Amino acid sequence: MAGKKVYPEHRDCVTIFFSDIVSFTDISSTLPPEKISDMLDRLYSRFDNITHDHAIFKVETIGDAYMAVTNLVEDQKEDHALRIAQFAKLAVQCASETLIDRDDPSKGYVQIRVGFHSGPVVANVVGSRNLRYCLFGDTVNTASRMESNSEAGRIHCSKFSADLLKSQGGESEFRITSRGVRQIKGKGDMETFWVE
């Protein structure tokens, strides 16, 4: 890639997944960094295996946050929201089976909250030394807001993603129920949905 200019790519509709670990700050304050690193490695290695098996593109992890996308590097127009919902369900299950501390099972299991949203993005490689593949656009922000407004062990999405999921056959696998209209920071009032 050295010396080669990479140009931004526009995608009309992708589905973006975000998760983070519930009470991560509290967990981090009670465990040494080595144990935090081990917990994240165990959890995200499982997530990585699922993304590989389901043709989902992992964008990045930042601390306890995991970001993935469909219909970006592969043509998945017919089922990209469905793939993310399936991944989200497996991710919640994996987390609930991952011990916070392998040496002290009394600390319990990891819980994550999940959110996703679908829409247009621009993808580009940024940087000149430590290259990073990044996604830009309001779709990224909205997906992140769906995650931050979710709850422990739950999957939360926008109305647009819920409608897309239904159109891709998601109602045969999931219960998709309105959470009602919520005030979403930076977005105003939005109807959002639980995916179970």
Pairing of strands 132-136, 155-158: unpaired
Please report whether residue 167 resides in a domain: no
Please report whether residue 36 resides in a domain: yes
> The tokens of 157 are what?
């999405």
Cα separation, 173 vs 45, in Å, equals: 25
Please report whether residue 98 resides in a domain: yes
Please report whether residue 187 resides in a domain: no
* pLDDT band, very low/low/confident/very high, at 131 (cuts 50, 70, 90): confident
Average pLDDT taken over every residue of the chain: 95
Model pLDDT, residue 4: 65
Cα separation, 166 vs 53, in Å, equals: 23
Whole-prediction pTM: 0.94
Compute and round to an integer the Cα radius of gyration of the chain. Answer: 17
The H or E element spanning position 196 is: none
Please report whether residue 134 resides in a domain: yes
Residue pLDDT, tens place only, 101-116: 999 999 999 999 999 9
Please report whether residue 194 resides in a domain: no
Contacts of 136 (CB under 8 A, 6+ apart): 8, 121, 122, 123, 124
Residue pLDDT, tens place only, 146-170: 999 999 999 999 999 999 999 999 9
Q: How many domains does the chain have?
A: 1
Cα separation, 130 vs 133, in Å, equals: 10
Segment 89-100 shows an average pLDDT of 98
Please report whether residue 128 resides in a domain: yes
Task: Name the residue range of residue 146's domain.
Answer: 9-155
Residue 25 belongs to domain with CATH number: 3.30.70.1230
> The tokens of 196 are what?
């179970």
Segment 125-134 shows an average pLDDT of 82
Please report whether residue 2 resides in a domain: no
- Residue pair 135/121 in contact by the 8 Å Cβ criterion: yes
